[in-house]
Amino acid sequence: MMADARTVHIEVSDLTMAYGTFVIQQDLSFNVYHGDIFVIMGGSGCGKSTLLKHMLGLLEPASGDILYSGQSFINASAAEREAMRRRWGITYQAGGLLSAMTLAENITLPLQLYTDYSERERDSIVAYKLALVGLAGYQDYYPSEISGGMRKRAALARAIALDPDILFFDEPSAGLDPISSRLLDELIVQLQESTGATVVMVTHELASIFDIATNSVYLDASTRTMIDYGDPRVLRDHSEQAVVRQFLSRSSATGQEDSP
């Protein structure tokens, strides 16, 4: 399917991010299409996680707009923003599970806050979501009682508790060994295919970028703007920007080290 025939799910339009007078990134304009697995990438300190925070509404832009299904998030009322957020699932770099709660209690929390399901219905949903991420039977375990990879999957189960339209990930593979990281990538793809959700993620892992991403944007720290945008496999081989090709092939010191 041609890119221009797909439906835009998220539109970032002329976005400038700044802390006071210090500009982080400027003139960011790109689309995330329905069903994309979209990666925000770039070298160390370029503002990847800052962009994610703007997309989540945790930070306000200096200028520009972010639209979800054509509706401005920046200009939306508090009630409209809350309605949009209820269609999102978010997993953070450290997982963000509450240590004093069991996995079931962690996953039940958004269901208690945002639905009127009965306890029995919530229990059924929790069991189903844990089974989807390969953690059937782990309802009564605490986060400290399971491995790092299992905690990442449990966080994902919580993120999909409300059947979101969009899943946001901040360095989902951080701290995982290569095998666990690959299994998590496979799980993200499986969930995207089964739910149809759009995925937006920050990652510096080349294996993840090439294995699962369908679209991407490259943020450049030196020029403080995006310098390329598209399928990362195409950018690796055909980008007109040498720094992008180098980053995606790790063929020089440029882009060797990357962090949010």
- Name the pLDDT band for 152 (thresholds 50, 70, 90): confident
pLDDT of residue 255: 39
Q: At residue 164, does pLDDT exceed 90? A: yes
Separation of alpha carbons 205 and 226, rounded Å: 19
pLDDT of residue 253: 40
Report yes or no: 13 and 65 within 8 Å, Cβ to Cβ: yes
Which residues pair with residue 63 across a beta bridge? 16
Separation of alpha carbons 123 and 34, rounded Å: 30
Domain range annotation of the chain: 1-87+204-255
C-alpha dihedral (198, 200, 204, 207), degrees to nearest 10: 0
Q: Which helix (H) or strand (E) holds 178?
A: helix 178-195
Helix, strand, coil % (nearest 5) of the chain? 40, 25, 35
Angle 91-101-185 from CA coordinates, rounded to 5°: 30
pLDDT of residue 94: 61
| Fold held by 1-87+204-255 | Rossmann fold (3.40.50)
Q: At residue 256, does pLDDT exceed 80? A: no
Separation of alpha carbons 82 and 237, rounded Å: 41
Per-residue model confidence as pLDDT tens digits over 109-137: 989 988 999 999 999 999 999 998 889 99
pLDDT of residue 208: 87
Q: Which of 13-17, 143-147, 254-258 has the lowest mean pLDDT?
A: 254-258
pLDDT of residue 93: 67
Q: At residue 260, does pLDDT exceed 70? A: no
Place of tokens 């980008």: 239
- Angular region, 96: left φ>0, alpha ψ -120 to 50, beta rest: left
